[in-house]
Amino acid sequence: MTRPTMVELDDDLAAFVRRTVSMMQSRHLNDDTRAAAALAKLRRAVTAAPGSRQEVWEYTLKDLPQTLIAPLDADPTQWECAAHYAITLHALHQQSSRIRTHREGNNIGHAVYRLGLTTANDAAVQARFHALIAASSLSSGLIHLRGLIRQFRSAAIPLDYGRLARDLRRLQDHKQADQVRLEWGRGYHHQRRKPEPLSASDLTDSTGASSE
């Protein structure tokens, strides 16, 4: 049997994260109390090591493709770690928000560019973004990323969490980390047009009713 390529594994990761956060945000916007409880658990795990909080395993591990999971006695794989980071960050982003904070397309660079357009202090936004890019380790980068996610939440800026999961996996591979940073930089510096307004689907729940 042919082993999947790294690209195929990353695609499986992105698809899993997109399914998970899409379901979570739809239920949240429909005022499902179970979704609210799940998001609260995930937010509490946002600074925890992947795999260390059993109360979030059903969201970060349960339906993760078997090819992405380590043997029982091994440390978490890069894909398991990335799934944990992305799904808990989405919970932080979705907190108290009535828009769909996951939307396919935007990478971190795109979202930071949009954030700069919403604030009078674009220099501070750039400084946080540059600190993320220059972070010497993934753990320090995640600190800056959490700060940006909170700002995205305040400014109602969505992010593609499947894409983020893929990027966070690649950042753990020293051969791919610089490429991720380059893609984020391109997303920021090459976006010259004003962002499109949020679509109606971002502002409505899965039944089509207004989320306001």
Q: Give the pLDDT confidence score for residue 197 in this predicted structure.
A: 54
192 band by pLDDT with thresholds 50, 70 and 90: very low
Best mean pLDDT range from 109-123, 162-176, 180-194: 162-176
User: Mean pLDDT in the chain?
Assistant: 91
CATH topology of domain 6-193: Peroxidase; domain 1 (1.10.520)
Q: Which of 170, 186, 19, 195 is nearest to 90 (CA)?
A: 19
Q: Give the pLDDT confidence score for residue 91 in this predicted structure.
A: 98
Phi-psi domain of 156 (left: phi exceeds 0; alpha: psi -120 through 50; beta: other) = left
Question: Domain residues of the chain, as ranges?
Answer: 6-193
Query: Long-range pairs for 89-92 at CB < 8 Å and ≥24 separation?
Result: 89/46, 89/145, 89/146, 89/149, 89/161, 89/164, 90/21, 90/24, 90/25, 90/42, 90/161, 91/24, 91/38, 91/39, 91/40, 91/42, 91/43, 91/46, 92/43, 92/46, 92/146, 92/149, 92/150, 92/153
pTM of the model: 0.88
| 28-75 pLDDT tens trace | 999 999 999 999 999 999 999 999 999 999 999 999 999 999 998 899
Q: Give the pLDDT confidence score for residue 206 in this predicted structure.
A: 43
> Cβ(211)–Cβ(28) under 8 Å?
no
Q: Is 192 exposed, middle or buried (0-12, 13-18, 19+ CB in 10 A)?
A: exposed
CB atoms within 10 A of CB 173: 12
Q: Is the model's pLDDT at 194 over the cut of 70?
A: no
Q: Give the pLDDT confidence score for residue 119 in this predicted structure.
A: 87
| 95-105 pLDDT tens trace | 989 999 999 99
Q: Give the pLDDT confidence score for residue 2 in this predicted structure.
A: 85
Averaged over 139-163, what is the pLDDT?
97
199 band by pLDDT with thresholds 50, 70 and 90: low
**Cα–Cα–Cα angle for 201, 114, 177, rounded to 5 degrees:** 105
User: From the centroid of its chain, how far is CA 136?
Assistant: 20
207 band by pLDDT with thresholds 50, 70 and 90: very low
208 band by pLDDT with thresholds 50, 70 and 90: very low
